Structure 1
Amino acid sequence: MFGLKLSHIVAGAVAVLLGYTSSAAIIFQAIDTLGATQAEANSWMLVLGLGMGLSTLILALRYRMPILTAWSTPGAALLAVSLAGVSVPEAIGAFVFCAVLLTLTGVTGWFEKISHLIPEAIGNAMLAGILFRFGLGVFASMEENLPLVISMCATYLAGRRFFARFAIPAVLLVGVVFCALTGAFDTSQHVAFEIAKPVFVMPEFSLAVLIGVGVPLYIVTMSSQNVPGVVTLKAAGYAPPVSNAITVTGLTSLILAPFGGYAFNLAAITAAIVAGPEADENPVTRYKAAVATGVIYCIVGLLGAAVIGLFLIAPKALVVTVAGLALLNTISASLTAALREPDQREAGLVTFMTTVSGITFLGIGAPLWALIFGGLTSLVLTRKT
């Protein structure tokens, strides 16, 4: 099909596996925080898989580039800590609002301007603060199941040392095997390997939720996902159609938001897999690896109920540890970038600590207050020319 090579299919399978193992646990936590029903959770996983698959196929086939899209992993982390007390319709309203902002960014070509509005240090500090508690969750889980967490952490260290690309899949595999051997899985739960069904939720628009969830979701998606996604493709030697690509992901988000497709964006880490020489020695035909990835994403998305079911039967320590270990590199890179510039360190630190504090004023969550406080600190302490 389309002259696919085995390397294209393998690269696509690895990208999908890495995408799901590194962040599906975080999405599950976001769904759990929101208190969505089982049917709604299944719908989320269905449309997230289909959204990534179809938007990837559109961009890869249209531009003949290994352009990969993804759900917003930092966005899922943000939702996991900011959706408490928010109703499902209000959350959907925030998703729609974020999708509108993403689409406008692509259609109007605002990307370059938007990317410069927030200092890099502050954007990275906010991301590090959002993800920080997931890293802490690894160590907190030791109280629940120390042998499981230790075995997964040991696998992670070995993986980072000897097979970095497959470290997280290896961690998940070891965790699953350990739970199977020790009887840690909840066998009372039923895993249904069937086609998931979309569940439409009429959005409700609450100003506090739009500002406290929708705006930060848009910001982290743009600054922490789309920017690295563009950089990844350029580093591989491509000139991606940035505005058009963001328009496609924005429209995909807008169409699928009422079903749980909270935000789609350009992929970075998984894109590096299909845009590299391992996928194809010829850069011209590497887009076929992205095509293979898109097809696999669609297939996995259709089995969204099974994906949720697997997380339901797993002990909490397994899910939390996989999510935390998968985010360690992102946390480290974000903190490093936040504190790299001497004149922005205090602003970055204020942003980070405000985000970690979890404060809520006027119904607005910590991430947006972190941007405000960090921005004010930067304005006061940084001399402008």
Structure 2
Amino acid sequence: MLRDISPQSLFMGLLAGFVGWASAFAVVLQGLSAVGATPEQAASGLMALSVSMGLCAIVLSLRTKLPISIAWSTPGAALLATSGAIDGGFSVAVGAFIICAILIIISGVWKPLGRAVSRIPAPLANAMLAGVLLGLCLAPVKAVAFNPILGLPIVIAWLVVGRFNRLLAVPAALLAFIAVMIFGIDFPPNALADLGSSIAPPIEFVMPEFTLAGLVGIALPLFVVTMASQNIPGTAVFRANGYDTPPGPLFATTGFFSLLSAPFGGHAVNLAAITAALCAGEDAHPDPAKRYWAAVFGGVFYIVFGLLAGLVTAFITIAPSILIEAVAGLALIGAFAGSVVAAFKDDDAREAAAVTFIVTAAGLTFYGVSGAFWGLLAGGLIYVLTHLRNRRNTT
């Protein structure tokens, strides 16, 4: 097994770990904070997710000898960012994370649930995701309006580097954000001392609470988004690179590691898509049977980055929130564009997708339930009525 290690797999694992972590950790912190997490709890959640997805990638890849890349649910974090605080605070959100993890496990071991999720009309799932992402994708524009001197370097770095290498565009924006912080922000007194005290890994256990609002407003939309936007596409990327394995055990394993991270603030881990292509492609190793080490190394680097979560979170709390939202928004523009195209390409489902998108993007909360659920419900109703009408017209 050790003889299969190569310099290519080490490099691609580092690249996958860095790109996956640096491109989306801002979204994770934004999402956890939005549902009531304190900075300490958000740092704990970031670390728990990083360690869980790193261990999950290592376990699955070594067990199957396949390059199975794992990531956190970036669309799920974006969903949390637009959901807002829920009655009962972060404890209720953690309870919802646990329910979501259990549902992912069940979808892997009980085929009817997995089939039910796969039968959710793709235009509606993508429209819901687009509605969730819209608000965050507007943040870069708002950051430039807030302070062009601080906001423009972040956007320009993303734009320029993205023309040469799309994978490195968001890390470049992150580096620009760090430069803006160092040279453009006046640090509060004792800020550097506080950063030094934040190096230790943050661990915050959160006692979960289970409520109906948490189930309907967070757990169910988070489960749908994670499965429809991450796990199912992840298996497609895997197959596209010549690997074929039953997805059920993979789903169940990601659900198990999601369950481990949930009490410490982690929302969900799942199969990766972009980083999966990095680890499963020819650049990881000429021999497909030896590419699994790239995913293993990617998992190792996720764990290393996760242990720095306290320092990263402490650094970010010093910055104006709109700047970190801008980095998060830039990381999600590609996902937003892809979801919009997929949502509206089907003529028969276009109206239902539009209703789903509008209701979700409105971000309104009724009875403590977030707009993502109501958007999917409203769009589903229009979808059913449209198909009933079309069926009558053809008979």
State the TM-score, normalized to the length of structure 2. Answer: 0.93
- Work out whether 1:324 is the aligned partner of 2:329: yes
Query: Hey, what does 1:51 align to over in structure 2?
Result: 52
* Paired AA for residue 57 in structure 1: I
> Which runs of no fewer than 5 residues in structure 1 stay unpaired?
none
Query: Hey, what does 1:298 align to over in structure 2?
Result: 303
Between the aligned partners of 1:263 and 1:117, the Cα distance in structure 2 is 21
SS in 2 for 1:70: strand
SS in 2 for 1:313: coil
Q: Matches of residues 191-270 of structure 1 in structure 2 within 5 Å?
A: 191=195, 192=197, 194-270=199-275
- Work out whether 1:336 is the aligned partner of 2:336: no
* Paired AA for residue 72 in structure 2: W
Q: CA deviation at 1:112?
A: 4.8
What count of residue pairs does the alignment treat as equivalent? 385
Query: Hey, what does 1:118 align to over in structure 2?
Result: 120
Q: CA deviation at 1:158?
A: 1.8
Between the aligned partners of 2:210 and 2:189, the Cα distance in structure 1 is 39
**Is the contact made by 1:8 and 1:286 (CA closer than 8 Å) also made in structure 2?**
yes
**Is the contact made by 1:185 and 1:315 (CA closer than 8 Å) also made in structure 2?**
no
Between the aligned partners of 1:181 and 1:130, the Cα distance in structure 2 is 33
Query: Hey, what does 1:78 align to over in structure 2?
Result: 79
Query: Hey, what does 2:166 align to over in structure 1?
Result: 164
Query: Hey, what does 2:176 align to over in structure 1?
Result: 174
**Is the contact made by 2:10 and 2:294 (CA closer than 8 Å) also made in structure 1?**
yes
SS in 2 for 1:278: helix
Between the aligned partners of 2:117 and 2:95, the Cα distance in structure 1 is 24
Percentage of identical aligned residues:
40
- Work out whether 1:6 is the aligned partner of 2:7: yes
Q: Which moved more, 1:11-20 or 1:146-155?
A: 146-155
Q: CA deviation at 1:55?
A: 0.6
Q: Which moved more, 1:260-269 or 1:315-324?
A: 315-324
300, 308, 317: which is aligned to 1:312?
317
Q: CA deviation at 1:157?
A: 2.1
Call closer, same or farther: CA 1:34–1:187 in 2, change over 3 Å.
farther
**Is the contact made by 2:108 and 2:114 (CA closer than 8 Å) also made in structure 1?**
no
Between the aligned partners of 1:272 and 1:39, the Cα distance in structure 2 is 33
**Is the contact made by 1:50 and 1:298 (CA closer than 8 Å) also made in structure 2?**
yes
**Is the contact made by 1:2 and 1:288 (CA closer than 8 Å) also made in structure 2?**
no
Q: Which moved more, 1:216-225 or 1:249-258?
A: 249-258
Report Cα offsets for 1:68-122 as digits up to 9, x if no partner: 1111001111111214144111111101111111110111134651343310100
> Which runs of no fewer than 5 residues in structure 2 stay unpaired?
none
Q: Which moved more, 1:9-18 or 1:266-275?
A: 9-18
Q: CA deviation at 1:184?
A: 5.2
Query: Hey, what does 1:17 align to over in structure 2?
Result: 18
Q: CA deviation at 1:169?
A: 1.1
Between the aligned partners of 1:267 and 1:114, the Cα distance in structure 2 is 21
* Paired AA for residue 242 in structure 1: P
Q: Matches of residues 20-169 of structure 1 in structure 2 within 5 Å?
A: 20-86=21-87, 87-110=89-112, 112-169=114-171
Q: Which moved more, 1:254-263 or 1:227-236?
A: 254-263
Q: CA deviation at 1:27?
A: 1.3
Call closer, same or farther: CA 1:64–1:135 in 2, change over 3 Å.
same
* Paired AA for residue 2 in structure 1: L
SS in 2 for 1:84: coil
Q: CA deviation at 1:32?
A: 2.2
Call closer, same or farther: CA 1:193–1:85 in 2, change over 3 Å.
closer
* Paired AA for residue 61 in structure 1: L
Q: Which moved more, 1:131-140 or 1:24-33?
A: 24-33
Call closer, same or farther: CA 1:203–1:325 in 2, change over 3 Å.
same
